[in-house]
Structure 1
Amino acid sequence: MNNDSNKNHINIGLIGIGKIGRIHILSANELHNTKFIAVYHPDMIKAERFADTYNVEKIYDDLDEFLALREIDAVDICTPTHTHYEFIETCIKSNKPILVEKPITRTLEEFDHVVELINRDKNKLMVAQYCRFIPEYKMARKIINQGKIGTPINIKAHRYVNAPTYKNWFFNEKLSGGIILDLLIHDIDAVIWILGDEIESIYSCVNNFNLKEFDTPDFASIVIKFNQGTIASINGAWILPKNHYTPNSIDSMLEIFGNKGIIEINDRNDSKMKLFNIKQGFQLMSTDPLKIYKAEIAHFSNCLLKNKSFKMDFKSIRLSLEACLKAIESYKKSEPIKI
C-alpha cells in the first residue's frame, strides 16, 4: 500500500465479478474511505460489461498487470471458494493487503500455508466473516462476556436461503464445500466467535430434497458440543421458497439460552434483538444501523488508513473452517467427530 499519511481513502482492486463482488462494490459506493478502481477477470468482455455497469475505471484480464498497478492499495478476492488459496498466495507476493470472502480456503492445509505466508505481517489479510459484523451479533457477544444471561447452555441457529442456482460450482462439494462450508460457516463461525470456546465434538446429518440432479445435500443439521458444556444446534437449507417474506430472501435466527437469561435475534423481526434476564425482564435492544457489508469493508479500509490491526483472530477462523470440514466428515461417516 502507498504510505501516504494524508491519504483519506483506500483504492481497491476487485478479483471476481459474481454476486458477492457486486455486493462489495455497491456497499463501498456509500463509504467515504473506500473506492474500487480496478477489476480483474480473465474474460475481458465480461470485465468490460461489469466495469461499465459499476463505474470501475480500469479493467484487466492479466493478473500480473492488475497487481502491478501502483494505484491499487489493496485487493478484494470475491471468487469461488476453491480458487481463494491461489489468489491469496499470488496477492501476498505482490505485497498488497487482502480482503477475502469467506471461507478463507477450501482446506486446512491451504489455510495453514496462508498463515505461514503472512506471519511476518498479520495486517496483510482480513477474512470477510459476515456475521462478525452484524451489530446484533456483536451486541450478543458483549452481553455474554458481561455475564448478563449467565452461562450459555444452548444455542439454536438456522439459515435458510434460496438455492444459488446462478452458478453450479456451489453444488460441487469438492469445489465449494457444499451447504455446510458455503452456507453454514456463517453460523458456525458466529457461534464460535460469540462463545470464545473450543469445540469438543461435532455431529451432522443431511438430506437432499430439491437438488437431486446435483447429488448434493440441500439441508444440513449440525450439533456442536463445546468444551465448557454449551450445546449448539445449527440448521441450514438451500430450499427456502422464492419470494419469502424475510429481508433479502434469507431466513436466519440465533437464540442463546443461558441460566440467567435469553438472547433472540430473528430476521423475521427485521433483525431486532430481544434480551431477557432475571432482573429486568424483556428488553428490545437498539442496534447500530450500519449495514453489514459496509461495516466489514469500512473496517478493512479504516485499519489500513490508520495502520491498525484487523479485528481478526486467525485461531477462531481456523476453528470455524475445521468445524465445517469435520461436520462434512461426520455426515459421511454417520458418527460424531472429535475436534
Structure 2
Amino acid sequence: MIHCAIVGSGWSAGRHARVLRRVEQSELVRVVVEPGQSSHLPAVFGSPLVTDRLDDALNDPGIDAVIVCTPPDTHLAIAEAVLRAGKHLVVEKPVGLRPERIPALESLAQERGLTVMVPYHFRFVPQLQTLRSRVQAGEFGTVAHAYHRMYSLRDREGAWLWDDSRSGGIIMESLVHGIDQIMWMLGELPSTVTAMTHAGRNQVADAATVLLHFPSGAVGTVEGSWISDPHVPFGSLDIVGTAGSAAFDRGRFQKRYFRVESAAADAPATQVDSLDDDDAGFVGLHEHFAECCAHGKPPQAANLHEAYAAAAVAAAAVEAARFRRQLPVTGLLPDAP
C-alpha cells in the first residue's frame, strides 16, 4: 500500500483525492492545506489527517508519496523538498514556471531512486493509447495537422490564476496539456513555435492559440480559453492525415467523456471508440504510479523528461507571443517525448 499526502485543497487536489479511492494500491492519509483552510476541506477528501504545515507530511515516516496540487509558481520548490525528504512525487502540470530547473529535479529523483510523475492523464486513457498506436503505425498516413482545444469556465477558483507570476498565464497553466498531447501523438518535438494571446484580467493571458511546426512537416494547433461557459464543448483533439483522420471529443462541462471517431480517407463508415468515465486517465496514472513506487520501476509515461519537453515548448510559446514572432525550439531535448 502506498500511503499518500496531498498538498493543496482546491479542485485539482479534490480530483486526486477522489481518484485515489479507486486505486487499490494507494491510500490518502494526510492533506496539507493553507493556514485557516482545514475547516473547509470538501467531503471528497474523506477523513485524512489535516495540517497546514508541509513539514508535517515530509517528516512523517508513514507517508510514502506526496501529490502536489498548489499554484504553478510553487511546484518546483515543493517538489524538491518532497524528493529531499525521500518521498515519491506526483506534481501537477506544469512542473514549474522555470522549465530549465526541471532536469535538476529529474537528476535528484534518479539519485535517490524515487518515482516522479506529472498528471498528463490523457496518456493513460485506453482510447487515446489506441489512437496513438494507430497514428504511430501510419494508419492515417502522414499527419498533416493535429488540433487540440481546451476550455475552462470563467468562474474558475483561485485569485492566483490572475497573477501572471503565479499561474504563468493560460499557455503555461493549461495549454501545456495540449502541447504534451500533440507531441505524444506525433512522437516528435516541434522545430518552431509561434503564439497569440488575449490579455484578460490583470493583463494575464486568458485565451491563446499556439502554432507548432514539426520536422515531419505536420502542423499543430493548440488553443483554448479560461473564460468559457457551460454550453461550449469542453475540449477536443483532431488528427488529420493523408490516409485518414480521427476526432477525439471530451464532451461538455457537465457531461465529460472520451470518444474517438476515426475513418480511412476512402472509407465511408467511421469507427467509434468511447468511454464514459472522466477519471479513467487519472486512475490509470495513479495505478501506474503506485506500481512504480512499489517495485522501483521507472514510469513508462508522464515522467519528468517528457514534462520538461512540454514545459519548455510552452515557455517558448509564451515568449513567441510576447515578441510576436516565430521562435525555434529544436534542441530543447535530445530525443522526442
TM-score normalised to structure 1 length = 0.88
The one-letter amino acid paired with 2:140 is I
Contact between 1:149 and 1:259, CA under 8 Å: does it hold in 2? yes
Q: In structure 2, what is the equivalent of residue 234 of structure 1?
A: 222
Any conservation in 2 of the 1:136–1:265 contact (CA below 8 Å)? no
Q: Report what 1:277 is aligned to.
A: 264
Matches for 1:297-312 after TM superposition, within 5 Å:
297-312=286-301
Equivalent position amino acid for 2:165 in 1: K
Q: Distance in 1 between matches of 2:32 and 2:226?
A: 30
Distance change (3 Å), C-alpha of 1:219 and 1:53: closer
Distance 2:242 2:64 in 1: 48
Aligned equivalents of 1:138, 1:53: Cα separation in 2: 29
What secondary structure sits across from 1:13 in the alignment?
strand
Distance apart, 1:54 and its partner CA: 2.6
Please point out which of 84, 93, 113 is paired with 1:102. Answer: 93
Aligned position for 1:331 = 321
Counterpart CA distance in 2 for 1:293 and 1:103 is: 16
Answer with 48-57 or 59-68: which moved more. 48-57
Per-residue displacement from partner, 1:104-139 (whole Å, max 9, x unpaired)? 111123212212312325643111113222333222
Measure the CA separation in 2 of the matches of 1:32 and 1:108.
33
Q: Quote the Cα distance in structure 2 between the aligned partners of 1:100 and 1:281.
A: 44
- Matching of residues 101-180 of structure 1 within 5 Å: 101-121=92-112, 123-163=114-154, 165-180=156-171
Greater Cα offset, 57-66 or 136-145 = 57-66
Cα 1:154–1:57 change in 2 (3 A) is closer
Question: Corresponding residue for 2:71?
Answer: 80
Whether the 8 Å CA contact 1:200–1:225 is kept in 2: the answer is yes
Question: Any conservation in 2 of the 1:133–1:295 contact (CA below 8 Å)?
Answer: yes
SS at match of 2:147: strand
Per-residue Cα deviation, 1:275-314 (whole angstroms, up to 9, x for no partner) = 1114655333335666222222222112223433212354
1:48·1:59 contact (CA, 8 Å) conserved in 2?
A: no
In terms of mean alpha carbon deviation, does 164-173 or 14-23 score higher? Answer: 164-173
User: Secondary structure in 1 aligned to 2:271?
Assistant: strand
Shift of 1:78: 0.7
Question: Which deviates the most, 312-321 or 282-291?
Answer: 282-291
Question: What residue is the counterpart of 2:231 in the other structure?
Answer: 244
Which whole-Å CA distance do the structure 2 matches of 1:227 and 1:95 have between them? 40
CA distance in 1, matches of 2:181, 2:266: 27
Structure 2 distance, partners of 1:186, 1:220, is: 13
Instruction: Output the amino acid matched with 2:318.
Output: I
Change (3 A) 1:103 1:157: same
Task: Extract structure 1 runs of 4+ deviating beyond 4 A.
Answer: 278-281, 287-290
Q: 1:158, 1:236 within 8 Å by CA — same for their partners in 2?
A: yes
Contact 1:155 1:230 in 2 (8 A): yes
Following superposition, the deviation at residue 42 of structure 1 comes to 4.3
Change (3 A) 1:129 1:268: closer
- Long gaps (5+) in structure 1: 1-8
Give % identity: 21
State the alpha-carbon separation in 1 of the partners of residues 193 and 186 from structure 2. Answer: 16
- Partner of 1:4 in structure 2? none
Which residue is equivalent to 2:334? none
Distance 1:123 1:315 in 2: 14
Give the structure 1 partner of residue 238 of structure 2. Answer: 255
- The question of 1:91 aligning with 2:74 is answered no
Establish whether residue 264 from structure 1 lines up as the match of residue 247 from structure 2: yes
Q: 5+ residue gaps in structure 2?
A: 330-337
Please tell me whether the aligned partners of residues 224 and 233 of structure 1 are also in contact (alpha carbons under 8 angstroms): yes
Contact 1:192 1:316 in 2 (8 A): no
Paired residue for 1:317?
Answer: 307
Secondary structure of the residue aligned to 1:70 is: coil
Residues 118 and 304 in structure 2, CA contact (< 8 A), matched pair in contact too = no
CA contact (8 A) 2:289 2:299 kept: yes
Are the structure 2 counterparts of residues 258 and 52 from structure 1 closer, same or farther at C-alpha, using a change threshold of 3 Å?
closer
Structure 1 residues 164 and 324: alpha-carbon distance in aligned structure 2, compared to 1, 3 A threshold: farther
Alignment of 1:46 onto 2:33: no
1:268 and 1:66 mapped to 2: Cα distance?
37
Shift of 1:227: 1.1
Deviates more, 1:28-37 or 1:133-142: 133-142
| Distance (Å, rounded) in 1 between the aligned partners of 2:269 and 2:179 | 27
CA RMSD across the alignment: 2.1
Structure 1 residues 93 and 268, CA, compared in 2 at 3 Å: closer, same or farther? closer
